[in-house]
Amino acid sequence: MGELLEVYEASTSASLAQYKATHASSISDVSGYWSELAKSKLTWFAPFSEGLSGSFEEGSVSWFAGGRLNFVGKENETAIIWEGDEPGNVKHISFHELKNEVCKIANALKSAGVTKGDVVTLYMPMVPELCYTMLACARIGAIHSVIFAGFSADAIADRIQDAKSKWVVTASAGSRGGRNLPLKTICDAAVKKDRCVGVVEKVFVFDGKGETGSDWEVQDIHVKMTELVAAQRPVCSCEWMDAEDPLFILYTSGSTGRPKGLVHTTGGYALFAMHTTANSFGLSQQTAASTDGPKDVYACVADAGWITGHTYIVYGPLLNGCSTLMFESTPMYPDCGRYWDMVQRHKITVFYTAPTAIRSLMRFGDEAPNKYDLSSLRVLGTVGEPINPAAWKWYFDVIGKGRCAVVDTYWQTETGGHVITNLPGITPMKPGSCTLPCYGIEVVVLESATGKEIETTEAEGVLAIKQPWPGMARTCLGDHQRYLSVYMKPYPKYYFAGDGCRRDKDGYIWITGRVDDVLNVSGHRIGTAEVESALVAHMAVAQAAVVGLPHEIKGQGICCFTTLTDGHTESDDLIKELRQAVRTQIGPFATPDMIIPTSALPMTRSGKIMRRILRKIAAGELDSLGDTSTLLDPSVVDTLSKKVEQAR
Ligand code: PRX
Instruction: Please give the distance, rounded to the nearest whole angstrom, from the Cα atom of residue 498 to the centre of ligand 1.
Output: 10
The pair phi, psi for residue 220, each rounded to 5°, is: -80, 5
Is residue 3 pLDDT above 50, yes or no?
Answer: no
Range with top average pLDDT, 3-12, 173-182, 221-230, 434-443:
434-443
Q: Counting Cβ atoms within 10 Å, is residue 5 exposed (0-12), middle (13-18) or buried (19+)? A: exposed
Q: Is the CB of 250 under 6 A from ligand 1?
A: no
In short, whether 413's Cβ falls inside 6 Å of ligand 1 is yes
E strand spans, 238-356: 241-242, 246-252, 260-265, 298-300, 324-327, 350-353
Is the CB of residue 510 below 6 angstroms from any atom belonging to ligand 1? no
At 567 the three-state DSSP class reads coil
As a whole number, mean pLDDT of residues 167-195 equals 94
Q: Which pLDDT value is given to residue 513?
A: 92
Half-sphere exposure of 224 (CA within 13 A, CB side): 8
How many Cβ atoms sit within 10 Å of the Cβ of residue 573?
A: 8
User: Above 80 in pLDDT, residue 73?
Assistant: no
- Cα gap 512→489, rounded to integer Å: 22
Cβ-based neighbours of 346, under 8 Å, separated by 6 or more: 81, 83, 90, 297, 299, 325
From residue 85, how far is each of 89, 209, 286, 331 by CA, in Å?
7, 10, 30, 10
Q: How far is the CA of 22 from the centre of ligand 1 (A)?
A: 25
Question: Which residues have a Cβ under 8 Å from the Cβ of 329 and sit 6 or more positions away?
Answer: 83, 84, 85, 86, 87, 176, 177, 338
Asked casually if ipTM beats, i.e. exceeds, 0.85, the reply is yes
pLDDT (average), residues 396-424:
97
Phi, psi (5° rounding) for residue 300? -105, 115
Q: Which residue among 280, 511, 526 has the greatest number of ligand 1 atoms within 8 angstroms of its CB, and so is best to mutate?
A: 511
Residue 632 binned pLDDT confidence (cut-offs 50, 70, 90): confident
Sign of the torsion formed by the C-alpha atoms of 620, 591, 384 and 155 = negative
Report whether pLDDT(629) > 90: no
Q: Which of 286, 284, 293 is nearest to 41 (CA)?
A: 284
Q: Indicate which residue's Cα is closest to atom 25 of ligand 1.
A: 410
3-class SS at 110?
helix
Instruction: State the DSSP string of 221-260.
Output: TEEEHHHHHHTS-S--PPPPEETTSEEEEEEE--SSSS-E
CA-based nearest residue to 229, from 96, 79, 131, 109: 109
Q: How far does residue 435's CA lie from ligand 1's centre (Å)? A: 14
State residue 345's pLDDT score.
98
Mutating to test ligand 1, I would choose from 495, 496, 525, 528 the residue with most ligand atoms within 8 A of its C-beta, which is 525
Q: How far apart are CA 415 and CA 413, in angstroms?
A: 6
Contacts of residue 211, defined as CB under 8 A and 6 or more positions apart, other chains included, come to 172, 173, 180, 182
Residue 419 pLDDT level (bands cut at 50, 70, 90): very high
Q: What is the pLDDT of residue 293?
A: 62
Q: Which amino acid is at 638?
A: D
Total residue count of the chain as it appears in this document: 648
The pLDDT tens digits for 489-526 are 999 999 999 999 999 999 999 999 999 999 999 999 99
Average pLDDT value for the chain: 93
Ligand 1 close to Cβ of residue 162 (< 6 A): no
Residue 460 has pLDDT above 50, yes or no: yes
Of 562, 488, 502, which is closest to residue 528 (Cα–Cα)? 562
Give the mean model confidence (pLDDT) for residues 203-231: 78
* Residue pLDDT, tens place only, 554-597: 999 999 999 999 999 999 999 999 999 999 999 999 999 999 99
Q: What is the mean pLDDT of residues 70-78?
A: 79
**CA 383 – ligand 1 centroid, Å:** 7
pLDDT band at residue 14, thresholds of 50, 70 and 90? low
- At residue 219, the pLDDT reads 61
274: CA distance to ligand 1 center in Å? 19
Give the number of other CB atoms < 10 A from CB of residue 428.
16
Stated as kind and residue range, the H or E segment containing 615 is helix 611-619
Number of neighbours of residue 344 by Cβ within 10 angstroms: 16
pLDDT over 70 percentage in the chain: 94
- Give the residue, out of 255, 412, 476, with the most ligand 1 atoms within 8 A of its beta carbon, to mutate for a pocket test: 412
Give the end-to-end CA distance of the chain in Å, rounded to a whole number. Answer: 22
Query: Which amino acid makes up residue 389?
Result: P
> What's residue 212's pLDDT?
53
C-alpha distances in angstroms, 102 versus 68, 121, 170, 237, 320? Answer: 20, 16, 16, 11, 18
Interior angle at CA 575, CA 645 and CA 554, nearest 5: 60
Cα(226)–Cα(223) distance, integer angstroms:
9
Over 90: is that where the pLDDT of 412 sits? yes
DSSP tag of 193: S
pLDDT for residue 284 is more than 70:
no
pLDDT tens across 315-363, in order?
999 999 999 999 999 999 999 999 999 999 999 999 999 999 999 999 9
Greater confidence, 626 or 298? 298
Which atom of ligand 1 is the closest one to the Cα of 525? 10
Secondary structure of 536-549 as H, E, C letters:
HCCCCEEEEEEEEE
Q: Examine the pLDDT at 215 and tell me if it is beyond 60.
A: no
Give the residue ranges of DSSP H helices in 395-522.
480-483
Distance CA 585, CA 597 (A): 19
Atom 24, ligand 1: which residue's CA is nearest?
386
Work out the pLDDT band at 286, boundaries 50, 70, 90: very low
Rounded to 10 deg, the angle between the 611-619 and 635-647 helix axes is 40
pLDDT of residue 115: 98
Distance CA 262, CA 306 (A): 12
Residue in 125, 127, 124, 122 with CA at minimum distance from that of residue 91: 127
Strands (E), 385-494: 405-409, 443-446, 459-465, 475-476
Please tell me the predicted confidence (pLDDT) of residue 4. 46
Instruction: Report the nearest-CA residue for atom 22 of ligand 1.
Output: 385
What pLDDT is attached to residue 626? 84
